[in-house]
Each structure stands twice: as structure tokens, then as C-alpha cells.
Structure 1
């Protein structure tokens, strides 16, 4: 299904560069997957040169079928999710980093009052999946940081906006500062999300606003792995202001970074999933984090 989604994106954009941006993945990864699909089908789907991309006759024949297959698969996922939810009445909530912010008890209380037949199950998803488990159907909703892939398959609402901070080992030379300018981090080693995280990786490296890309010395699959790497002195990592408090420990410090746009925490769900439990969860997140006195 991933290969077909990638094929449709390239076919509609007729540009690997634009399609990669639309899918929030690196262009080499996209090209590799398209080659994989072509090898599997034993046919060329695109005519390529340095300037243009065009569908071959085989690619043109595949395009409407691929769209139909994707639509049918998404309908099947929704049907299975609805049937399973009816039986178990469990709403699985995905997250990349610890949620905190008083959200879990507030949402649990609201769900218990408005949809008492449902229970919440929280599941951490590795950073390598930028859809936070929603694309695979592993979770029903997610509370996670933007950006997420803008493929039209996901919908979201921002529920909190927080400054980006940086985590450093307690003995780092910049640990004595109360704030750190982004330019001062230009030559510092950074711990990155996996390359499969796409635009989310770039955002948490600060590459969206750096003069040149961050120096990456290691990758981490989870926030816990990244924090351990920072504490050991291997490198630095950006994190949201609220997470600076959540992941606080004696062997590292967190400082606000000046010169970076803030991060956005969102509640995310599959577009078209209008189950009452999903709507209630979304509303509960909004009430908890977007009420009076919140950022």
C-alpha cells in the first residue's frame, strides 16, 4: 500500500521532488520505493530524465487501479476499526513523547462521563512512524507534535503551542546560560529522529530555520533514547517547553532556544472517522489544553 501511495503521489505531481515534499519523505527514499514497485511489477511506470517525469503506458494503466485499491483499503481499515471498537469499546491513543500537561486524567474523566462504555489505551509509537500509528491502524487517535504527513488521510487540531528548547548534558559549556541563540548551536552535535520521520525529523533538528543543516551524530527511535544520549554527552536534542519539565533529570539541563518558531501539539485522527468516542476525545483535548489560561 505504501508503494502504491508513493506511485500515486509521483503520478499526480509528475515530479519526484514535489511528491517527496507532499509525502514528507526524502526524495532518495521515494525513488527507491518506486524502483521497488517497478521491479515487483516488472515494468517501468515512469519515463524519467533530468528535467521531466512522465507516465509510461503501464503507469497510466496502473494509476486508476492504484487509486481504487487505496480507497478500498482505507474503507476496509475503517470498517475493521469500527467493528473492533464496537466489540471492545477501546480507543487506542498513540503518542511519540510523554503527553503530560494534565491531559490524560482530564480526558479520561471526560470520556468516563460522556462515553462511559469506552476505555482509553495509550500506546507509544516510535518516531520512525510520522503518522503516530494512524496509517497502520495501530491507534485510533494520537496526541503528537506537528508536522504530520499532509496526504489527506489525516486530520488534526492544534491544542497547544510551546517554545522549542534544547536539552544538554549538565556539564555542557552552554548549560550555565538561561537562553541560547539558535546560531550558537550551529556547530553542536545533535541527536536526530530516524530518516523515515521525514519533515518531523527536520523540525526537531531546527533545520527549518538554520542557516545550514544540523550536525547529526546519532539517531534515536524514542524520546527516552534521545534523552539518554544527551545525558551521556553524545549530543543535543530539541524538545518542547512542556517536555523539558516532563523529562527533567539531574544529569541534563534544558534551555529555551531564541530564534526558533514554536512547536505545535495536536490531536490527530484519520480523516472521516466520525465515531462519537473519537469526537469526544478531540473535544476533551481542546477543553483541557485550549481553555482559559492556556497557551
Structure 2
């Protein structure tokens, strides 16, 4: 999750605000569905082994319409369910789940708070610095491990992108932000009708949206990984276009055989094959 305090789903939480054993620190990032703050443990451990520092992800439920509340509640439940049931070395760790009880702050009252393992940053912020990480191939291998662990447990991430690849203090990578995650029911899962266009496979753009959301398959994560690898290794996005709408149209033309990928000449040859395989035109391929 990346962004500013002014992002649509951002919650402003004052420094020093207490929730459970935690005191809120500075804002780490904000996205469409919540805000993440640094935090320190302000109370001694009582039962659960808690670290001295953590990241608090606030998922808002205050002052919203009933439909918005239901949607936000479902997103919080998705992320909590994944992190409780899929505990692997390549997924960010969940310590506990709290609920804000503060009627005096209606924008915060009732918010779900995920107490997460603290990361040092994200792949997004690393790439924003302009330097291609030398550890890029190793980080991508760790992202693959995380996807393999997630898929093996029967889940699709649904929103893989640089901002959701978290970098730890030891330089390793973890997958985070599971608001869009979906549990497989056979070959498909059902995800909210929301995605990051540049990392979304073309077939998802015309997928039918039903009462349970959009049908999604693990190949959606494979496509997203192909885009991620091309950006990291290094290169621009593999489909041309200035604004996101133009790139989306290019992806649709590519899926129909009317457009070609524009892979960077700097992409190592063995990675070129991997990226091309990930970015196959059709799910069946």
C-alpha cells in the first residue's frame, strides 16, 4: 500500500493515538481502502508474544453508507482470513486484529485494525528512487515463492504490484495487502470488481461481474508477475501508452493479436522467456 494522507480511503490517525497495546506513529502509506501507520508497543506483553514495533493497518468503517460499510467489511475479512490461515515465510505476518471503540471519533469508530509485521519499505518506493535494485532477481524469486505458497493454500492474491511487495529490514521480500485476495473454489475464485489496470490480465477487463464479484484465476497473479518482473529488471511497462486507459486498450489489442509486447532490450535473455510466458495472450496459454 502506497499513497498519501489524501488518498480516498485514508484515515487520519493522530500521533500517539492508542489502540490496544499500541501507540500510533507516523503514516507509512494510504490507499483506496485504508491507511498504514508505524506503531510501537506501549504496554507490556499480556499473553500474545508481540514485537516492540509493528505496522497498524486501519480499515475504515465509520461514517459510510450501508453499501460502503458492507464492502469495506468484506475487504477487511478477506485480508484477515488470508493472514490467519496462510502463515508462510513469504507473506507478511499478522500479530492480532483489533477494533477501534471511540464514539468521539466517528471516522475511526468501528475501524478494523490489523497489527502487522513492520516492513522497511516496499518495492514501489525502491523503484521510485530511479535505481534498478541489484537484488532484483532474488526479490522476484521470493515473490514467486510467496505466490506459490499462496496458490498452494488455495488463494489468489488479485492485486500483485510493486506497492504490495514489502521489503524487510534484512532485504528480503514479503507479499502484503490482501484486500483483493480470493479463495479458490475449484478453478476459479471471486474477487471484488477492482484491480490495478497495469497489472491486470486483459481477460479480466471484460470478465462478467456477478453478485459475488469477478471470476479470477491464479493466472491473474502470473500475468501480474510478468509485468512486475519487466519493470524490475529493468524496463518500462511492457505495453505502450501514456495514460492508464491507453495502456489498457493496448493490453486488449494485444490479447486480440493486434498489438505486440515491447520488451526492454535490457531484459536478460532467460528472463525474457519467463516474462513472455507470464504475459501469454490467453489464460489457456
Q: TM-score, normalised by structure 2?
A: 0.30
Query: Larger radius of gyration, structure 1 or 2?
Result: 1
Which has the larger helix fraction?
1
Quick one: higher RCO (CA 8 Å, sep 6+), 1 or 2? 1
